[in-house]
Amino acid sequence: MSVPAVAAGRWSALKRAAGERFVAWARRRHGPDQGAVTITRGRVYILPTYLGFGYGAMLFAMLIAGLNYGNNLALAFTFLLASGGWVAMHQCHRNLAGLTIAPAGTRAPYAGEAAEFAFALSAPYSREDLVLRAEDRRAAAVSVPGGDAATARVQVPTVRRGRVHLSRLRIESTFPLGLFVAWTWTHPELDCLVYPRPAPRDRQGPPPATEAGAARDGRARGEEDFEGLRGFRTGDPPRRIAWKAWARGGELVVKEFVGAAHTPVIFDLADAPGADLEARLERLARWVVDAEERGDRYGLRLEQAEVPPGAGLTHRNRCLAQLATFRLPADAS
Amino acid sequence: MKLAAGFARLLATCGALALALLPHVTHLPAWVSATVIGAIVWRLAAEQRGWALPPRSLPATAAVMAALAVYAGYRTLNGLDAGTALLAVMAGLKLTETRAPRDHAVLVFIGYFLCLAALLYEQSFVRLAYALLVAWLLTAALARVHRPVEANTPVRPFRLAARMLGFGVPLAIVLFLFVPRIEGRFWAVPAPPSRHSTGIDDQMSPGDIAGLSQSDEPAFRVWFQGAMPAPELRYWRMLVLEDFDGRRWRRATSFADASQPDVVPAGAPYTYRIALEPTEREWLPGLDTVVDWPEAIAARGRGTQLVYVDRRILERRPVTNRLTYSLRSYPAAAVMPSSLPRDLTVRDLALPPGHAPRARAFAAGLRAAAGSDRAFIARVLGTFRQQPFSYTLEPAPLGADPVDDFLFRTREGFCEHYASAFAVLMRAGGVPARVVIGYQGGELNYYGDYLLVRQSSAHAWNEVWLTGSGWTRVDPTAAVAPERVRRGELTRELAGEEVPGRLYADFAWLRNIRSAWDAARTVWDDNIVSFDPRRQAGLLAALGLDAQGWQGLAIALAAGVMLASVALAAWLAWELRPRRRDALEAAWTTVCARLARAGLPREAAEGPVDFGRRVARWDPLLAAPVSRLVDAYVVARYLPGATAAERTRFLELARSFSRLLRPLGT
Indicate the helix (H) or strand (E) that contains A307. Answer: strand A305-310
In a domain, A50, yes or no: yes
Q: Are residues B120 and B216 located together in one domain of the fold? A: no
**In chain B, what residues touch A146 (CB-CB under 8 Å)?**
578-579, 582
B445: helix, strand or coil: strand
Asked if residue A227 is part of any domain, the answer here is no
Shared domain for A180 and A310, answered yes or no, is no
d(CA B106, CA B97): 11
**pLDDT in the model for residue A262:** 59
**Which sequence positions of B are flagged as catalytic?**
415, 459, 475
Whether residues A89 and A159 share a domain: the answer is yes
Same domain? B279 vs B399: yes
Torsion of CA B428, B429, B430, B434, to 10 degrees: -60
Asked if residue A106 and residue A31 are part of one domain, the reply reads yes
On average, the pLDDT of chain B sits at 80
User: Which of A248-257, B143-152, B435-444, B465-474 is predicted with the least confidence, judged by mean pLDDT?
Assistant: A248-257
Q: What is the DSSP string of B488-546?
A: SS--TTTTTS--TTHHHHH-HHHHHHHHHHHHHHHHHIIIIIT--HHHHHHHHHHTTS-
Give, to the nearest 10 degrees, the angle between helix B623-638 and helix B583-598: 150
3-state SS class at A91: helix
Q: What's the pLDDT tens digit per position in B362-416?
A: 999 988 888 888 899 999 988 888 888 887 777 777 877 888 888 888 888 888 8
Is residue B145 domain-resident? Answer: yes
A215 plus A143 within the same structural domain: no
Q: Identify whether residues B134 and B211 lie together within a single domain.
A: no
Cα angle A72, A73, A79; round to 5: 90
Considering the domain architecture, whether residues A91 and A130 belong to the same structural domain is answered as: yes
Q: With respect to residue B602, please indicate whether it lies within any of the assigned structural domains.
A: yes
CA of B457, closest CA in chain A: separation in Å?
Answer: 27
Most confident region among A297-301, B157-161, B283-287 by mean pLDDT: B157-161
Count CB pairs under 8 A between chains A and B: 167
Report how far residue A206's alpha carbon sits from residue A224's, in angstroms, rounded to the nearest whole number: 22
Residue B645, domain extent: 583-665
> Does this model's pTM top 0.80?
no
Do residues B217 and B291 share a domain?
yes
Q: Is residue A234 included in any domain, yes or no?
A: no
| A contact residues 127-166, partner B, Cβ 8 Å cutoff | 128-129, 140-141, 143, 145-148, 151
For A:17-56, CB contacts with B below 8 A are 51, 54-55
Query: pLDDT of B36-71, one tens digit each?
Result: 999 899 888 888 888 887 777 776 777 787 778 777
Is residue B210 domain-shared with residue B162, that is, in the same domain?
no
Report d(CA A287, CA A289) in Å as an integer.
6
Quickly count: other Cβ atoms within 10 Å of residue B185's Cβ: 13
Instruction: Give the residue ranges of DSSP H helices in chain A.
Output: 3-30, 50-68, 72-94, 243-247, 277-294, 313-325
> Both A19 and A152 in a single domain?
yes
What is the count of structural domains for chain B? 3
- Is the ipTM higher than 0.90? The answer is no
A187 with A267, same domain: the answer is: no
The answer for B190, left when phi > 0, alpha when psi is -120 to 50, beta otherwise, is: beta
Q: Which residues of chain B neighbour A73 with C-beta distances below 8 Å? A: 119, 123, 127-128, 131, 528-529
- Residue B554 within a domain: no
Same domain? For A111 and A22 the reply is: yes
A285 and A172 within one domain? no
The verdict on residue B330 lying in a domain is: yes
Q: Which of B461, B494, B527 is the last residue of a domain?
A: B494
Write out the residue range of the structural domain in which residue A268 sits.
211-220+261-332
Asked if residue B141 and residue B65 are part of one domain, the reply reads: yes
Provide the total of helices (H) and of strands (E) in chain A, helices listed first: 6, 17
Q: Which of A128-142, B87-101, B311-325, B453-467 has the lowest mean pLDDT?
A: B311-325
Q: Are residues A154 and A216 in the same domain?
A: no
Residues A49 and A107 in one domain: yes
Express each pLDDT in B78-105 by its tens digit: 778 888 888 888 888 888 887 788 889 9
- Whether residues B113 and B219 share a domain: the answer is no
Length of chain A as a residue count: 333
Number of residues in chain B: 666
Please list, in sequence order, all residues whose beta carbon lies within 8 angstroms of the beta carbon of residue B211, skipping any fewer than 6 positions away: none
User: Rounded to a whole number, what is the distance in Å from the CA of A198 to chain B's nearest CA?
Assistant: 30
In whole angstroms, give the CA distance from residue A172 to residue A180.
10
Indicate yes or no: CB of A72 within 8 angstroms of CB of B164: no
Domain-located, residue B521: no
Q: B216 and B116, same structural domain? A: no
CB contact under 8 A, A128 and B147: yes
Q: How far is A309 from chain B (nearest CA, A)?
A: 31
Do B16 and B93 share a structural domain? yes
CB atoms A178 and B101 under 8 Å: yes
Residue B544, in any domain of the structure: no
- Asked if the structure places residue B111 within a domain, the reply is yes
Kindly identify which residue of chain A lies nearest to residue B567, measuring between CA atoms: A87
User: How deeply is B57 buried, as exposed, middle or buried, from its count of CB atoms within 10 A (0-12, 13-18, 19+)?
Assistant: exposed
A176 touches B: beta carbon within 8 Å = yes
SS3 content of chain A, % helix, strand, coil (to 5): 35, 30, 30
Cα–Cα dist B91/B62, whole Å? 12
**Domain presence at residue A72:** yes
Same-domain status, A82 and A160: yes
- On whether the CB atoms of residues B341 and B387 are closer than 8 A, the answer is no
- Indicate the SS3 state at residue B460: strand
Instruction: For residue B228, give the 3-state DSSP assignment.
Output: coil
Of B61, B143, B146, B64, nearest to B101 by C-alpha is B146
The residue among B478 and A60 whose pLDDT is bigger is A60
Give the containing element (helix H, strand E) for A165: strand A162-166
**Partner-chain residue, chosen from B146, B168, B187, that has the shortest CB–CB distance to A84:** B168
Same domain, B150 and B228: no
Residues 232-271 of A with CB under 8 A from B: none
In a domain, A304, yes or no: yes
3-state SS track over B249-300: EECCCCCCCCCCCCEECCCCCEEEEEEECCCCCCEECEECCEEECCHHHHHC
Q: What is the pLDDT of residue A260?
A: 43
Report yes or no on A117 lying in a domain. yes
Whether residue B234 sits in one domain with residue B282: yes
Chain-chain contact of A72 with B123 (C-beta, under 8 angstroms): yes
- Report whether pLDDT(B201) > 90: no
B439 domain residue, yes or no: yes
Contact, B95 vs B104, CB < 8 A?
no
Cβ <8 Å between B131 and A77 = yes
* Domains contained in chain A, number: 2
